[in-house]
Structure 1
Amino acid sequence: MASWGKLTFAQKKCVSATGKLMQQTEMVSHGSRIGLAISGGVDSFLMLKVMLIRQAIMPFPVELMVLHVNPGFDPDSHLALADWCAANGVSAHMELTDYGPRAHTDENRSNSPCFFCAMQRRKRLFELCREYGLTHLAFGHNADDNVVTFFMNMLQNGRADGLSVNESFFNGNLRVIRPTMLLDKKIVIKAARQWELPVWENICPSNGSTKRDDIHDWLRSMWRHDRRIKNNVFNAVTRQQVNLTSKKV
């Protein structure tokens, strides 16, 4: 039996769908050095677990490194992640910032707190990738995130764009990838619970009251009584984003 043991249906789904998307969009290659952006939430922690399994399955070697930028609401929240990485032999860089609290002060007058905090954390992640010589930066966005982003862009910006699956940055020196973007949120939550991942709660004061949350609630109201609507929307948006990526690589 493999070192990760026997997998449940939900866990197998996560591992296989991630592998399918990685292969279809040519995400990584021999010698790729992948930084995993881990916030500590269920999505990114699930990606970390799945990527460790995929690393063992791949026919060529790749390196994985956890990158965690604590936004500063709880200085000790990442200790569970640090212990988990140590127990599983995963290299990690973790640092404490004040991005979250600053996002909710007068310093940030022109943007939403989420935009400010996310922008600062992503900038720092890019810097860490350069400092460690990483070739890829992976985010744990899933199919639900992709659909919500698509409708946010369409309704607020007039663009029919979701999340990129595999995108080049800095003249090709870094690729941003989203290996778990085929996964339904329910599958992600179920598999993470079965793996008993030490996910922690998001205590940001803006959590649950953002424009993204509003659009997600609106979408759920549309398909609450007809599962086919959700399936059709998810399939259409996911297919578009994967096809766009496949044409570029």
Structure 2
Amino acid sequence: MNEISVTKLNKMPRESYVLVDVRSESLADYGMMPGAIWVSAEDIEKGNIEKIENIPADKKIVFYCQIGQKSQEICGLPCFEGRDCYSLKGGYMEYLQDELSRSEAGAKQEKAEESIRKKFHKQLFSPFAKACKTYKLINEGDHIAVCISGGKDSMLMAKLFQEIQKHRQVKFDVTFLVMDPGYNKENRALIESNAKALGIPVTIFESTIFDTVDTIEKSPCYLCARMRRGYLYSKAKELGCNKIALGHHYDDVIETILMGMLYGGQVQTMMPKLHSTNFEGMELIRPMYFIREADICAWRDYNELHFLQCACHFTETCSTCHTDGTTASKRLETKHLIAAMKKDNPFVEANIFKSVENVSLNTIIAYKKDGVKHHFLDEY
């Protein structure tokens, strides 16, 4: 099996090879190696390899997956016999580590912060501040645990909290909290490297969540998300915090609303803040509530940043989960549905978002409040 290291790849003339990303769509959307084309391993195994067949015969083909396992299988498929194929050793994660090792931390932090203040102020800082004001997310004397998973959303949220603290309109404290649920050393190092490069002083604590959910066959992603939140609440409270902040954004909200209808038969939303039911005195806030995912990606790409997505033990063999425990396949379907509807109606996203603000109880058959169901016939 032909394997090639990132170091050796970097020494090859760029025009001599073509990179092929074989990861799932959700992982590829999160970030790809520059110049790569995307053809999922699933499509390749089904024989959908037109993009690859169009690669000139004189060019090497370098396949990469997340950690270098699946790409080895793809590289050895009979359909690629006779082609000069390689599997990238260590996969995308190895590429990220190499990128971080060669980057200058101070320069990255300065550029990222300046872009929040200037180029992306309207798209990122303004909606962040608006959500905090609209939903009263930050109060005088708060101690907020800013929960960092290592992904683009939570890393940006940390930078936005640092920026809003500089404005000194409300006095509050923050702790940048990272839970290591059982990451391998490469994923742990990636989070630490990104935090250092961006000037985010993280507090890291460990749990055994990954080992626990490894034994669960049904809905491991849902259980993982529930357990994560419990551990975060517990550690935050131990550190003297009264709130935890999560990095869910506008697109997460509208996808959740639609998924509830399509897959759950219910009307509900992802709330901008809520009280914890199991940890007295604790609240959860979502200050990225008005920020669009496309703008987060634009900020990430402008600053040439590479972040972690899902790093669980299932990542290489399934569609990745979402931070709320929903499977990526359902969320991706919903994302595609919204995009398709937007082609005919450019207001569809805003209308979905507003739908849960404009509920007329007089035209609802039934609704639940505090677990009690109320039917329109009760007062007819």
1:185 correspondence with 2:293: yes
| CA distance in 2: counterparts of 1:240 and 1:32, whole angstroms | 31
Cα distance, 1:88 vs. partner?
5.7
Question: Structure 1 pair 213/112, CA: closer, same or farther in 2 (3 Å)?
Answer: farther
How many Å separate the matches in 2 of 1:179 and 1:41?
A: 16
Give the counterpart of 1:210 among 313, 329, 332: 329
Does the aligned pair in 2 maintain the 1:64–1:91 contact within 8 Å?
A: no
Code of the aligned partner of 2:349:
K
Residue pair 1:64, 1:90 contacting (<8 A) in 2 also? no
**Which one scores higher on RCO, CA 8 angstroms, separation ≥ 6?**
1
Q: Could you tell me how far apart the structure 1 residues matched to 2:337 and 2:210 are?
A: 27
1:152-231 equivalent positions in 2, closer than 5 A:
152-170=259-277, 173-203=281-311, 204=315, 205-207=318-320, 209-231=328-350
Structure 2 letter corresponding to 1:79: A
Paired residues of 2:179 and 2:205 also in contact (CA < 8 A): yes
1:79-158 to structure 2, matched below 5 A, reads 79-86=189-196, 90-100=200-210, 102-103=212-213, 105=214, 107-109=215-217, 111-158=218-265
Spell out, residue by residue over 1:193-247, the C-alpha distance to the aligned partner (whole angstroms, 9 max, x if none). Answer: 334444124342431743223322332232245433234334445x569xxxxxx
User: Is this contact kept in 2: 1:73–1:101, CA < 8 A?
Assistant: no
Indicate how the Cα distance of structure 1 residues 40 and 224 shifts in structure 2: closer, same or farther if over 3 A, else same: farther
- Counterpart of 1:78 (choices 182, 185, 188) is 188
Structure 1 range deviating more: 138-147 or 78-87: 78-87
Q: Which range is displaced more, 61-70 or 31-40? A: 61-70
Q: Which of 227, 233, 237 lines up with 2:352 in the alignment?
A: 233
Question: How far is 1:168 from its partner?
Answer: 1.6
Match of 2:40 in 1: none
Give the letter for the 2:251 counterpart. Answer: D
Q: Does the 8 Å contact 1:114/1:206 carry over to 2?
A: no
What number of residue pairs does the alignment pair up?
235
Taking only aligned residues, the RMSD between alpha carbons, in angstroms, comes to 2.7
Give me the whole-angstrom Cα distance separating, in 1, the residues matched to 2:119 and 2:165.
20
Q: Which runs of 5 or more residues in structure 1 are unaligned?
A: 242-249
Query: What runs of 5+ residues in structure 2 fail to find an aligned partner?
Result: 1-109, 322-327, 360-380
State which drifts further: 77-86 or 24-33: 77-86
Residues 91 and 173 of structure 1: CA distance in aligned 2, closer, same or farther (over 3 Å): farther
| CA distance in structure 2 between the partners assigned to 1:174 and 1:40 by the alignment | 23
Cα–Cα, structure 1 residues 131 and 213, in superposed 2: closer, same or farther, change >3 Å? same
TM-score, normalization: structure 1?
0.81
Does 1:5 find its partner at 2:114?
yes
- C-alpha distance in 2, partners of 1:87/1:216? 31
- Overall identity of the aligned pairs, in %: 22
Give the letter aligned to residue 166 of structure 1.
K
